[in-house]
Each structure stands twice: as C-alpha cells, then as structure tokens.
Amino acid sequence: MLRVAVEGGGCSGFQYQMDLVESANDDDIRIECDGQAALVDKVSVPFLKGSEITFVDELAGAQFVIKNPNAASSCGCGVSFSI
C-alpha cells in the first residue's frame, strides 16, 4: 500500500512523504479507490483532503503525482507546497 503523509519542510513549507508498506499503522486511515489502497495518518488528512494521487510513467521517469486543492502554491518539482 502507499502511505502518504505531510511533514513540515521543503522549499514551500510542507512536503509530501510517500512510502510503500506491507501493513497499516494503528492510527492510519485507509482510503480505497479502483481496487488500490492508500494510507494516511490522521494529522495529514486535513492537508490532503480532496487530493488526487496518480502514478505517472513517462519518458522522463515514473512517479506518484499529488493534485492537492488545498495547496496555494508548490515548488517546481511538486514535492513541497504551501497553504
């Protein structure tokens, strides 16, 4: 499963942390869509509410991309954002 969290830091104030994990932590919220599951900790939920996570595989590389409607701005690489 993909675990997604928001932490302080990065060039814009907050940054995404993503890990592939085998099991959920006790405080994780499990979100499922189209047979895929993502885990989000309770602290990160307000920062990620309404976000869409997609996996993009292009010539330049493969990565998870987060479209976050709560982000007022983000850095060029898309890893950090501000609210």
Q: Strands 2-8 and 36-41: what pairing?
A: parallel
Query: What kind and span of H or E run contains 44?
Result: none
* Residue pLDDT tens, the chain, 83 long: 899 999 887 777 888 899 999 999 998 999 988 888 899 999 999 999 999 988 899 888 888 888 989 887 776 665 677 77
Q: What is the pLDDT of residue 77?
A: 63
Q: What is the pLDDT of residue 78?
A: 59
Q: What is the pLDDT of residue 43?
A: 93
| Alpha-carbon span 44 to 21, nearest angstrom | 17
| Alpha-carbon span 3 to 22, nearest angstrom | 10
Q: What is the pLDDT of residue 76?
A: 66
